[in-house]
Structure 1
Amino acid sequence: MTQATAADAATFAVAVPALGPDVRCHVLQPGRPPLFIEPAGERLLDRAQFRQWSRTVRPALDALILEHGGIVLRGFPTAGTEDFADFIEQFPAFDGGYAGGRAPRETISGRVMEATRLSASVRLAVHSEMAYRRDYPRRIAFFSRKTAEVGGETLITDVRHLAERMDPELAGRLATLGSRTAINFGPRRDADDASYAHMDERGWNQSFHTEDPAEVNRLCAERGLEPVWHEDGSLTVLNALEPFVVHPQTGRKLYRSILHMLPQVENPEQDLERRKRQKYPTGATLGNGERLTDAERAHIDQLCDQTTYSWPWRDGDVMVLDNLQVWHGRNPYQGTRDVQVALLD
């Protein structure tokens, strides 16, 4: 890699011959995800030409997502949901779907979903998509249809070396004991809210897209989950998981867990009261029921902070991440933000 010209001095140019002469590539820092890909001329500003190019170079894009942990397509003709939907159509979909997913989000069109309806004031901690599940998408795509006026950046965290940097004693305890996650859903609700101050407020019917508890039980059994129904009509879903996984392509051992995470909330005091009332408080424990100590949680958070990055987003940006190697989150924001996602394999 060589440092870019003065016009783009904050980045480092990367030569990728497999993408052809009509694009230029760069990274913000050597070895740091993602790889930015931009048009080098006028040809790929045409939607038909961009569509043909993206399908021709798809194998190269796959390899770059794996190598760099993620890519960002910037400056291409991806202004609307239909453009994003067309781009992701060439990638295999995640067959598991999002029934019972944690984030309050709805389908926009086809495979395209909202990113989250979590309140704009909440910082969404970095995480691997569906880290509370046995089955998860291998990749996740983001589309910034409308960038917030203030804040709202999609954060990413490079976790490729996190497991090996973790305190060996802690890593050994996690590997030996495993984890158990608890995800709580509210009672049946008639309508989705425009935003949620706490993810636990969303009704189970809205998350599982059914009004039938028997169907929820069936979906849970299919996914290896244990549903626990409560007298007030709310639902807890329990799941036993291994905190470490092996990447199917790189063979690297990776940390993939919510053990260190606290609930993403607008009001921590109200959350504490909520958790006191819950039979199974939202979050994760070790397999023996113990929670990580504050020091252990802080240790993992510190490791994440060391490789968490953000940059100003632009309308039309499309990012595809390797969901195991690079996590994502969101800064709080002001104004209007429309970020859309798709789960890919």
Structure 2
Amino acid sequence: MSAFSIQPLIDGRSLPLLLKAGDVGRPLDEALPLLRAVIDRHLTDCGGIVFRDFSLDGPDAFRVFAAGFGHPLLTYEFGSTPRSQVTSGVYTSTEYPPHQHIPLHNEQAYTRDWPMKIWFYCVQPALEGGETPIADSRAIYSDMPTAIRERFADKGVMYVRNYGNGLDVDWQDVFGTDSRSEVEAYCAGHDIECEWKDDGELRTRQVCQGTARHPVTGEWVWFNQAHLFHVSNLDSEVRESLLDVVGDEMHLPRNAFYGDGSRIEDETLSVVRATLDRHKISFPWQAGDVVMLDNMLTAHARAPFKGPRKVIVAMAEANRQS
């Protein structure tokens, strides 16, 4: 392993580790057999690894690298944000406007099915900003006030989504089909309640975990997206405008409640957001960097940016909450 070095990227922090190529420009996908043992040993300890000074010859090489860990790459099913497929199993990162901040979250923690591994490949860093901050979900869980943590653990989170009508993504795009029967079959197989409204649009409800236990380490993590889906995540003007249109919070494009259907207090989610932010770790992208995360142990975000930015994503190793 003299061809590689591994050390903390940031002094005094174990997350993330930096794994650098001894031979600058060595193809990352070709180095995978040598790297796998190192990654297997360190990833569940630190939660995230940055690969630097390797070479990836575009999205196909990135796909080969991510798939080389022994699990088929996952398709982006039941998505909540706009993104485009680059190649098989590889997608653009969330296509929100550059000025928009994306808060810390674990990928697809708003479902009972999520990837255990996620990779980000920086094809082109932004001229300014555009970092992908990360945070230790174990530390967030430990730091969360006990009353809030226990409430989320006991009740879970119910996500309500109303699709289309020009207010949110269309159900056809989310489910990848124009067939109502296929949507109903998917929902039945994933414990999602669905109903067709009088206007022909779709509403779904799903009760999911508020916290979760890692299947390998046994550690508890903060694992939900209530702070993203909840109406309090909207600017007050946008919130009031939407409520004027739809009438009540159950009809908003998306919202989050406790699993029993009761309202999550705005004040509670303010504490949740502050706790998440306390654990945020940020570092600048370099062109060619790959970041590999254990998706349960480490949350990720996106900082606003200026200028062109291209980061692509792959996911693997499906896990399902019983």
TM-score (norm 1): 0.83
Q: How does 1:276-295 map to 2 (within 5 A)?
A: 277=246, 279-281=250-252, 282-295=254-267
Distance 1:258 1:272 in 2: 22
Question: Is 2:152 aligned against 1:174?
Answer: yes
8 A Cα contact 1:263 1:283, kept in partner: yes
Deviations 1:93-144 (A, max 9, x none): 4676322211211211011111111122210111010011001001111111
Give the AA of the match of 1:247.
Answer: H
Task: Structure 2: give runs of 5+ residues left out of the alignment.
Answer: 318-322
Distance 1:285 1:266, change over 3 A: closer
Distance 1:86 1:264 in 2: 40
8 A Cα contact 1:79 1:315, kept in partner: no
Question: SS of the residue aligned with 2:226?
Answer: coil
Q: Which residue is 2:242 aligned to?
A: 274
8 A Cα contact 1:80 1:316, kept in partner: no
Question: Is 2:42 aligned against 1:64?
Answer: yes
Question: SS of the residue aligned with 1:207?
Answer: helix
Q: Which residue is 1:254 aligned to?
A: 221
Q: How does 1:184-263 map to 2 (within 5 A)?
A: 184-187=162-165, 201-261=168-228, 262=230
Higher relative CO (CA 8 A, sep ≥ 6), structure 1 or 2?
2
Structure 1 residue 79: deviation in Å?
Answer: 4.5
Deviations 1:154-175 (A, max 9, x none): 1111121222222222222222
Q: Which deviates more, 296-305 or 136-145?
A: 296-305
Distance 2:112 2:151 in 1: 20
Residue-pair matches, total? 311
8 A Cα contact 2:258 2:264, kept in partner: yes
Distance 2:65 2:232 in 1: 31
Q: Which deviates more, 331-340 or 93-102?
A: 93-102
Give the AA of the match of 2:279.
Answer: T
Structure 1 residue 62: deviation in Å?
Answer: 2.3
Question: SS of the residue aligned with 2:285?
Answer: coil
Distance 2:204 2:91 in 1: 22
Question: SS of the residue aligned with 1:341?
Answer: strand
Distance 2:149 2:187 in 1: 29
Structure 1 residue 285: deviation in Å?
Answer: 0.8
Distance 1:132 1:289 in 2: 15
**Superposition CA RMSD, Å:** 2.3
Q: Which residue is 2:271 aligned to?
A: 299
Distance 1:56 1:38 in 2: 13
Give the AA of the match of 1:38.
Answer: K
Distance 2:281 2:89 in 1: 27
Structure 1 residue 76: deviation in Å?
Answer: 0.6
Question: SS of the residue aligned with 2:195?
Answer: strand
Distance 1:86 1:296, change over 3 A: same
Structure 1 residue 295: deviation in Å?
Answer: 2.6
Question: SS of the residue aligned with 1:29?
Answer: coil
Q: Which residue is 1:25 aligned to?
A: 6
8 A Cα contact 1:119 1:266, kept in partner: no
Distance 1:339 1:67, change over 3 A: same
Distance 1:92 1:184, change over 3 A: farther
Q: How does 1:108-147 map to 2 (within 5 A)?
A: 108-147=86-125
